[in-house]
Every structure is written in structure tokens, then in C-alpha cells.
A and B are shown apart, each in its own frame.
Chain A
Amino acid sequence: MALFFKLAPTSGQPLYLQLMQQIRHGAETGALLDGDQLPGIRTLAEELIVSPNTVAKAYSELEHEGLLELRQGSGAFICVKRRTQSLTDRVQASRRKLRDLIDQLREAGLLDEEIRRAFEAELTHPVLAVKKR
């Protein structure tokens, strides 16, 4: 089963976090359904050409969150539980909010590039965002 993961080593975000996000995104958009099997750690590491520790950490964190089920000997399986389903709904809702916000910013005269940079700048400081709240 092939899902196209693309990791960016220079984006300032640990690779395992990127992988986690992409797997989550796959589950949210329906590319990965409940029960689907992800490639084994070695297979995925060789395919993406990243350290197996990266894949292992991503899988283990997702198992903590409940999105993945690691079965000894068989591999990693997607587990879209009801909790995760509500997460998907929340993400869908946020996407709608974002769409409205982006339209507003565009109307205000900002270019897409500027909007993107602003988002990235804010996103690289989740701690700061927490502090502000």
C-alpha cells in the first residue's frame, strides 16, 4: 500500500513529527482507512531514505495517540477510532475557518507568499502561542 510521504530535512521540524503529521493527514482525508497497514519500519525507512529511528519514533508516538496499532510481527495498522474521527471533523472545521481567514487577508492586499510566511513564522513558535494564551 503506497502513500506518498515527503519529508523535508531543512524545514526546521524534526522528521518524525513531519511523518506523524503526514500519516495523520492521510487518516483525516481518508487516504488511510481504519485497518490499513503501513509499511514496516525498515521498509519505510529504506523507501524514504531516512533513519529507521525516525520511522520508529513516529510510529511509536502515533501508537500513543491511538492512531496506530503496532502488532508484533505483523506491522502497523491504522486505527481510526471515534476519538480520531472527531479530530477529523475538527480539522475539517478549521480548514473552513482558515479558508475564510485567507480570503480576508487576500482582500486586505496580502500576497499568498506573504500569508504563507506569516503562518510559518507563527507556527514555528507553538510555545510562544501557548504563552500568549
Chain B
Amino acid sequence: MTDEFVIVTQALSKSYGHSEAVRALDLSVGRGRITAFLGRNGAGKSTTIKMLLGMIRPTSGSGTVLGNVINDSKESVALRRRVAYVAEDKPLYGYMTVEQIVRFARSFYADWRIDSEKQLLRDCELPLRRKVKSLSKGMRTKLALLLAFARRPDLIILDEPSEGLDPVATEYLLQSLVARASEGSSVFFSSHQISEVERVADHVCILEKGALLMDASLDSLRESYRRIDLVFPALPAEREFRISGVQRIQTSGRQMSVFASNNADEVIERAHGLSVVSVNVTPIGLRDIFLETVKENERALV
């Protein structure tokens, strides 16, 4: 049975005392896609991921990963066998050598690929006999990622994978990620590196204060988000442009800048109707989309 989604949650929540880390999250991550999970620090991304893997028990709500219910401990073990996960802190056993930890990890997963393992060990130049605790941070990160990429799992979940990696290593990471995706693994990763996300992601989810603010394909964002800079002989009222899709309007002198998530054409039509002198339309990058989405959420909450 092929499900359309590899991850589905229903009203997934986690509270610590009075603070809600994750609030009624309805997440759905599509199969065969590379989905990026964006959010500020403390937005609840890591908590969500840990709940999906059965490492944290949800306060309420439910979810399935690859068809396995996350609340059930037996199914949770089964799903962890089919998922490759690298936590944010890239945990390893310091007292083991590189060789030992690779052997250790290998023993748990049927989808392990020895040829990939050897290739990755070579490419990353990891010394087999050295103890993990005496590796540099970059080496440790590469090793932690290797333990996931030497497999062919149905789903790969990465929490801030490129943290601590130099640009060359980051390129290698993204390349490996894309390679696994080409072979059929679905990828779900959280990242602060917007530029990386813009290159490889098919889909973007934005989490803020435990709630999902956006769940859209990157292509649709690229096609609809526009910044429209207008110059008028006499500045019209802002409300003329407060139509659906317009998120923010800034004015200065005779200039008006409109930040629109869609409906840019209507904005331009209105502008022409108000005798605009100059119209300049530019696309909006993911970074600005993210910042604006989060800020708008804060404005709405106030």
C-alpha cells in the first residue's frame, strides 16, 4: 500500500507545564518529496520530530509515520527501523571508534548499504581506528550523517544537518541528500540555512511557537510572492491596496512598497487605475517570505 504521505499528524501537542511547545499540529509530509521544516529556535521543530520518532510522548493528539502509529511503542520501534534520523546534536558514542560505531549502527538496519558506507568513509576521510571523542566537530557531524546516508530508508529525517559543516562539506551533504531522494527516500529536514532549502526543497513547512504557519510547495511560493514597488505623483491611501494576498505595505514620500503573497496582478491593476508613475515588480526570496510570515503572525497575535 503506497500512502501519499509519509508523515501525518492530527492535533499533535506537547506541553511542558504551562508552556506549549507544540500546539495542535496538523502536519502532512508527502512521499517522494524533499520537505523543509523552517522555524525559529524554540519553535518546536525538534520536539515535533522527537514525538514522531517516539522519543518524546505527546501530551495529546496522534500521528503516523510510514503508516505506523507514533503513540504505540511497538509500532514506534518498527518505524524507527525504516527511518534514518540524525538529531540536532549529532549524538554518537564517544568511547567507540569510528569502525565500532559504524558496525554497531549497521547491525540494526536491514537497509544498510556496505558500498555506500565504504564510499562515504572514504569521501569523508574518517579514520577508522580513532575514537569518536577525539574527532573534530566537523568529523563527528560527518560521521553522524554517514550513519544515516549509508542506508536506503523510506524516510530520512534530519534536524539541522549542515550545522557545523564547512561549505565544502555542506555541498557534499546536499548532494548525498539529493542522491537518496533520487533513489526513492522521502526527506524531511529542518534547517536555518534558507539558501540550502531554496536549492533542494520541493516543499516548505513553517513552524512558529508550536503552530504550523505555512505548508506550501516552494514553486508555488516562487510564483506567487511578489514585491511591488510603486511611485505615485500623489500617494493614494493605503487601504486602496489592502486586498487579499497583501501582507504588508510600506510608504515613504511618493513611494509605496507592497509585499504580496499572491494577487500581485490585482495590485498592479489598481496601481495603474490610480495613475502610477512607476511599477517595479521583483520576486521575494524564501528568507523574506519566512521573516514576513513570522512577523505577520506576531502582529496577528497582538
Contact = CB atoms under 8 A, between A and B. Distances in A.
Interface residues of A, number: 27
A115 to B, nearest CB: 13
A104 to B, nearest CB: 20
A46 interface: yes
Contact of A46 (B33, B182, B218, B283): B182
Given A16-B219, A50-B178, A125 B199 contact: no
A15 B34 CA distance: 14
Interface stretch (A4-12, A65-73, A77-85): A4-12
B265 A131 contact: yes
A42 B179 CA distance: 7
Given A53-B32, A124-B281, A125-B265, A45 B178 contact: yes
B247 to A, nearest CB: 16
B280 interface: yes
Interface of B: 32-34, 171, 174-175, 178-179, 181-183, 195, 198-202, 218-219, 222-223, 225-226, 264-265, 268-269, 279-286
B285 A124 contact: no
Interface string A122-133: 001101100100
Given A14-B223, A54-B202, 20 more contacts: A9-B195, A10-B283, A11-B283, A12-B223, A14-B218, A16-B219, A46-B182, A49-B171, A49-B178, A51-B33, A51-B34, A51-B200, A51-B202, A52-B181, A53-B32, A53-B34, A124-B283, A125-B264, A125-B265, A128-B265
Of all A-B residue pairs in the complex, the 4 with the closest CB atoms, nearest first, are A12-B283, A42-B182, A14-B219, A9-B198
A49 B182 contact: no
B175 A46 contact: yes
Indicate the member of A10, A46, A121 with the most B CB atoms within 10 Å.
A10
A32 B283 CA distance: 30
A117 interface: yes
B199 A12 contact: no
B222 A46 contact: no
B202 A53 contact: yes
A12 B265 contact: no
Main secondary structure of the interface of A (DSSP, over half): helix
Interface of A: 7, 9-16, 41-42, 45-46, 49-54, 117, 120-121, 124-125, 127-128, 131
Contacts of A41: 182
A14 B222 contact: yes
B229 to A, nearest CB: 9
Q: Is the interface of B mostly helix, strand, loop or mixed?
A: helix
Contacts of A121: 279-282
Contacts of B264: 124-125
B228 to A, nearest CB: 9
A117 B227 CA distance: 13
Contacts of A128: 265, 268-269
A13 B285 CA distance: 10
Contacts of A117: 280
Nearest to B200: A51
30 contacts: A9-B285, A10-B283, A10-B286, A12-B226, A12-B284, A13-B283, A14-B219, A14-B222, A41-B182, A42-B179, A42-B182, A45-B179, A45-B181, A45-B182, A46-B175, A49-B175, A49-B178, A51-B33, A51-B181, A52-B181, A53-B181, A53-B202, A54-B202, A120-B281, A121-B279, A124-B283, A125-B264, A125-B265, A125-B281, A128-B265
Contacts of A49: 171, 174-175, 178, 199-200
A127 B222 contact: no
Nearest to A12: B283
A62 B76 CA distance: 42
Contacts of B181: 45, 51-53
Contact of B179 (A9, A46, A127): A46
